[in-house]
Amino acid sequence: MAQAAPRTRAPRSAPGARGDRLAAVVMLAPNILGFSLFLGVPILASLVLSLFDADGFGSYDFVGLSNYGRMLSDPLFGQSLLVTCLYVLGMVPGVFVASLALALLMNSRLPMRGLLRAAFFLPHVVSLVVIGLVWRFLLVDKVGIVHQVLAPLGLSGISWLGDTRFALLTVLVVSIWFYMGYYMIIFLAGLGDIPTEYYDAATMDGASAIARFRHITWPQLRPTSFFVLVVSTVAAVSGAQAFDLIYVMTQGGPANATSLGMFYIYQQAFQFNNYGYASAMSATVVAFLVVVTGALFALTRAGRFDDA
Amino acid sequence: MHPTRPRPRSTGAPAPSRRHLLGAGLVAAGVPLLGGCFGLGDTTGLVLEQPGGDVPEQFKDRQRVVIWSSYTEHNAEVIQANLDAFHEEQDDIFCEVQIFDSYEGVESKLAASLQARQVPDIAVLSDVIWNRFYLAETLEPLTGYFDDSFGTDSFHDRFLAEGTVKDDIWWIPFGRSTPLFYYNREVFAAAGLPDRAPETYTEYAEWGRELAGFTFEGNEVAMRGYIGGDDWYFQGSIWAFGGAYSDGLTMTLTTDESIAALEYDRAFIHDDNSGYLAADAKGDFVSGACASVLESTGSLSGIKEAATFDFGCGFLPREEGAGVPTGGGGLSIMKYASEQRKQAAWEVIKYLSSGEASVNWTLGSGYVPTTKAAMESPEIAARAAGDPNYQVAIDQLEIAQGPDVARRYVPETLVEAKDAIQSVYSAGENAEDVLIRMEKELEPAIDRVREKYEQRVGE
C-alpha cells in the first residue's frame, strides 16, 4: 500500500501578510455589516416567516412547510411561474440581441453617434413608472397613437393591453425598448476593449463583416455577453425589471396574462396580507435564481465559454 | 482501518443531527426576529408613533394629526382648502395630509407601516378595504366620539350603516359614489335610439345590436367600453340578475342567476360585438369610441369637462331587480394612535363632515353628498337643479347598497373577480367555467378569514 505523504505544516504567515489581512477585514467590515443588517437579517426573517401563517397585523402561527406545500396546489402561482418563464424566454434573448445590434451600430462610423447613443440610453434615466404611464397612454384602444400608426397596416382592432394574447408581448416589447439602451452601453464598453489591430489584420486578409464578427467580435465579447446574460436573466426572473411596468400598465391582467411571479408575491403580501405564503414563494424564487445562475456559470465556464 | 469506538446503545430518541440543530437554531433565532421585525406582538395599550412629515413653523406648538389619503389632484386641493380653513378657525390642531395614488396604495402602506410600528391617525380606506383592518383589530370604534353637537344623525343613514359592525361605527362615509349609466346623446340620436338610459339589461343588449357596425363622424362606435380593472360594476350587474358574490361567507357565484350576469357580458361582447374590454373606458367614452359606459358618479365632473358632445346619465339598468353598488372611501381612526391624537383626529373628521366643509367637498369632488348638511344645502340643490345628471346620481342613492361580504372581508375576491371578468371580456371564456374556477380558488382564502369573521362580525 502506498505510503501517504507526510503532512507539512503550512508556513506561518508573515507579519506583513497578517497586517494586510487585518486591513482587508477593516475595509470590508462596513460593507459586510451593511449587507448583514440590511440583507442578511431580512433574508433570515423572511425564511423563518415562510414557516408561519402571518397576516401582517400581529398574528402568526407556526405551520412548518405547509406554505411550500400550498404553492404546489395554487393554480395562480403556477400561472405566474408560466408567465415568468415566457417573460424570461422573451426578455433575455430579446434584450441581448437588440442591445448587441445597437452597440454594433453605434460602434460603426455613424454620423451623430454620440447623440444617438444618448437617445437610446435616455429612457433608462426616466422612472419606470413614468415610462409605464406614457406607454399606457400611447397604447390606449381605438384612439391611442400606436393604434393610429398601426391602423393602415391592418392592425387596428387589437387591444394591446386588454387582450390576453397580446398583453405580455406588449409588456415585453416595452421592457426590451427600455433596457436595450442600458445593455448597449455595456456592450459598447466590451467592444471598446477589443484591439483594433485584430480588425485591421482581418480586413487585410479579406475577411467579410460577418466573418470579422464571428471570429473576432463574438469571441472577444464573451465575458461581456456573460455579464449581460446573467444580469438580465436574474433581473427578468426576479421581476425587478418588469414589476413597475406591470403595476402601472396592466396590474397583472388581463386574466393574469401578465402576472409575473414577483407581482403575484406582491399581491399575496400587500393585498391579501398572506406574508408567510409570500415569503415562501420568495424563498422559492431565490432558490430557483441560484440554480439558474449556477447553471449559467457551469454552462459557460463562468463566462469563458470554453469547450468542455 | 482505524479502530472505532463502540457505538453507544440507543436511548430511544435519536441524537439530533447537525442539520436538525441548524434548523432549530434558525427557527429559534428567527422567532425573536419576527417579533422585532414583523407583527405587533402584545397589543395591550400599544401606541405606535406617527409617520414623519413637515409641520410649518406657525403650527409647531399644535397637536399634529396625519391623514393618509388616496384623493389626488383636484380632490386633494379641495381637502387641503378645507383643512386650511380648519387651521384658521382653531389653534390646537394641525392636520397634515400625506397623499397616495389609490385606495390600494393606502392599504399596502398601512399594512406595511403597522409592522414598522408606525400609523397615521386617520386613513382613507375604500368600502372594500376597511373591513380587513377591522378584522385585524386595528381600527378605533367611533360611536363613543359622537355627541349632541355632532351626532350620528349628521350622516346619510345608508352610508353610515355601511361603516357599522356590531352596533359600533368604524368607518365614516366621506367620498362616496355609485356607478351611473353615461351615454352619448348625439350617437344615440344619430342611431335612432331613445334619449334615455336603457331600463333593463335586455333592452341594453337590443340597443347594442342595433348599434353594431354604426359609424359616427367617420369612426366606428361600440355600444359599451367595459372596465376590466375593477369588479365594482360586475357587483351591480350580478345583483340585477338576481345573484350575488356571497351570502355571508358562503359563495353564491355558481348559482344560475350569478352565471347569467357574466354570460350576459360574454354574449354582449363576443356574440353581439356590442362591447369590448377597454384599457381606458372613460377615455374611450370621452373620445367617442364607445357610446355608453358604466362609470362612477365621481367621474361626472371630469367627463363633463373633457367631453366635446352632449351626454346624459341614467340609473343603471335593472333585470330581475336593481343592482346599484355603493363605492368610494371613508375615514377611519387608527386604534394604535395615542389618545390625544385620536381626539384630535376626531375633531378633524368632525370639521370635514360638517357645514361648509362638507358642502365644499361634495361640490368640489363630485362625490355624492354623505352628510345631511350637504344634502340639504342650497348649494347642492342649485347644483342638482342646474345639472340633471347630478340629480340622477343623488336619486339613485335610494336603491344603492353596500358590497357583498366576500368582497369586503376576503381580499382575494377582488383580484379573483377581476381575473374572472377579464377572462370573459378579453378571452371569451365560458362564464360558468370561469365562475366555478373562481369559487374553487377562493375556498382556501375564505377558510382563512372564517374564524376571525365569525368572531368579529358573527352574522
A157: closest chain B residue by CA: B276
DSSP strand pairing (B93-99 vs B246-247): unpaired
Quick check: A141 and B111 CB within 8 A? no
Per-residue pLDDT of A197-219, as tens digits, reads 888 899 888 888 889 887 888 88
The span from the CA of A240 to the CA of A230, in Å, is 14
Query: Looking at residue B104, what is its pLDDT?
Result: 82
The winner for highest mean pLDDT among A100-114, B105-119, B217-231, B310-324 is B310-324
The span from the CA of B398 to the CA of B401, in Å, is 9
pLDDT at B209 over 70: yes
Minimum-distance CB partner of A272 among B26, B115, B412: B412
How far the first Cα of chain A sits from its last, in Å, is 35
Residue A4 pLDDT grade (very low, low, confident, very high; cuts 50, 70, 90):
low
Quick check: A273 and B111 CB within 8 A? yes
Quick check: helix, strand or coil at residue B93? strand
The span from the CA of B181 to the CA of B396, in Å, is 11
pLDDT at A29 over 50: yes
Q: Where are the domains of chain B?
A: 57-177+327-395, 179-326+402-446
Q: Rounded to a whole number, what is the distance in Å from the CA of A39 to chain B's nearest CA?
A: 13
CB-based contact B94:B87 (threshold 8 Å): yes
Quick check: B30 and A44 CB within 8 A? yes
Residue A5 pLDDT grade (very low, low, confident, very high; cuts 50, 70, 90):
low
The larger pLDDT score, comparing residue B170 to residue A5, is at: B170
Size of interface A-B (CB pairs under 8 A): 143
Q: What percent of chain B has pLDDT over 90?
A: 53
* Residues B408-416, mean pLDDT to the nearest whole number: 90
Q: Which residues of A touch B114 (CB under 8 A)?
A: 56-58
Q: Which residues of B touch A267 (CB under 8 A)?
A: 415
Chain B interface disruption, residue of A77, A134, A271, most B CBs within 10 A:
A271
Same fold, B57-177+327-395 and B179-326+402-446: yes
Superfamily of domain B57-177+327-395: Periplasmic binding protein-like II (3.40.190.10)
Quick check: helix, strand or coil at residue B219? strand
Quick check: helix, strand or coil at residue A116? helix
B40: closest chain A residue by CA: A58
Q: Which of residues 14-43 of B touch A (CB under 8 A)?
A: 26-27, 29-31, 33-34, 37-41, 43
Minimum-distance CB partner of A162 among B29, B228, B448: B228
Rounded to 5 degrees, what angle do the CA atoms A302, A303, A304 make? Answer: 100
Other C-beta atoms closer than 10 Å to the C-beta of B213 total 9
Class of domain B179-326+402-446: alpha beta
* B393, three cell numbers: 346620481
Query: Looking at residue B10, what is its pLDDT?
Result: 43
Residue B7 pLDDT grade (very low, low, confident, very high; cuts 50, 70, 90):
very low
Query: Looking at residue B232, what is its pLDDT?
Result: 94
B31: closest chain A residue by CA: A48
The winner for highest mean pLDDT among A7-16, B53-62, B327-336 is B327-336
Query: Looking at residue B65, what is its pLDDT?
Result: 95
CB-based contact B220:B214 (threshold 8 Å): yes
Q: Rounded to a whole number, what is the distance in Å from the CA of A171 to chain B's nearest CA?
A: 14
Name which of B130, B102, B78 is nearest B366 in CA terms: B78
